[in-house]
Chains A and B, each alone.
Chain A
Amino acid sequence: MVSVSLLLVPLAIAGAAAAQAAIGRPTDSRAVQVHTRMRDVALLAAALRDTGATVTTGPDTLTAAWAPARSTATFTRNADSIWAAHVTGMDQQQAVELVTNVDAAYGRRVQQTVLERLRAQAPAAGLRLESESVDDDASVRLVFEVEQERA
């Protein structure tokens, strides 16, 4: 019997773990640039709204504003299509904390999206969902029965 264990990363997430919330060179003295692992614009916008932001979308940018703090973050894509945040109205530590919160919301959005895809498309791949459970750390465990082994 051969079994294999896998770690998969959705395309909505950049492959390099180091891309998560790394601080970049400030663009000016009032702004902090924070690199992220986020790729998908729709999921990013949803994640920002989950954190209470008002989101404005432009052709190549996404701007989020948080009213009480008077802080804003402008997201632009880098050459690898990964979004970076340019944060104003807060210091470097606050900016990293903000983007870390957005990243967590983004992860939950990706989790929801992946679960929906799995539930919807697994039957066509010959996989029957046998059970589903949620762990203490909010991970969702799906057990699929292989109805017909691939030739």
Chain B
Amino acid sequence: MTGNPRIVVTVTGDGQLRAETLDILGERCLDYIAVLEQLIGGQVRDSSYTADHARDAQAAQERQLNRDVDPA
């Protein structure tokens, strides 16, 4: 799934929700926690960054490392 940012919400048969943000830049995805809480009238019980976040952090670290060793 590429292009515009998306939020995928799964409402289970026992009334709970799982949600995942896709392609939302930076920490802005955290803004949607409050949006979803307001939309459903509920609270977040658990949250975690996905693999995208881990890849992003690793890429940032590699960029920093390259800057550190680049003599130019």
Known contacts A1-B25, A1-B56; is-contact A145 B49 (Cβ 8 Å): no
Kindly report which residue of chain A lies nearest to residue B51, judged by CB atoms. A3
B residues in contact with A110, CB < 8 Å: 14-15
Q: Give the residue of A1, A125, A135, A141 whose beta carbon is less than 8 angstroms from that of B8.
A: A141
Size category of the B interface is: 35 or more
Interface of B is mostly: mixed
A149 touches B35 (CB 8 A): no
Known contacts A111-B11, A139-B12; is-contact A15 B43 (Cβ 8 Å): yes
A8 touches B28 (CB 8 A): no
Interface centre among A15, A135, A142 (most CB of B within 10 A): A142
How far, in whole Å, are A115 and B39 apart by their CA atoms in the complex?
Answer: 10
Interface size on A, residues (CB 8 A): 45
Interface residues in A109-151 by Cβ distance below 8 A to B read 109-111, 114-115, 117-118, 121-122, 125, 127, 130, 135, 137-147, 149-150
Cβ of B19 to closest chain A Cβ, rounded Å: 4
Cβ of A28 to closest chain B Cβ, rounded Å: 31
Cβ of A43 to closest chain B Cβ, rounded Å: 9
B residues in contact with A142, CB < 8 Å: 8-11
22 A–B contacts, CB within 8 A, in A order: A1-B52, A2-B25, A2-B27, A3-B24, A3-B50, A4-B32, A6-B33, A6-B36, A7-B44, A7-B46, A8-B37, A8-B42, A10-B16, A104-B14, A107-B13, A109-B15, A117-B39, A118-B9, A121-B39, A140-B11, A146-B5, A149-B28
Q: Confirm or deny: A67 has a beta carbon within 8 angstroms of a beta carbon on chain B.
A: no
How far, in whole Å, are A69 and B27 apart by their CA atoms in the complex?
Answer: 56
Q: Give the residue of B27, B35, B47 whose beta carbon is less than 8 angstroms from that of A125.
A: B35
Q: Confirm or deny: A12 has a beta carbon within 8 angstroms of a beta carbon on chain B.
A: yes
Q: Could you give, for residues 74-118 of chain A, a 1 whenever the CB lies within 8 Å of some chain B CB and a 0 otherwise?
A: 000000000000000000000000000001101111110011011
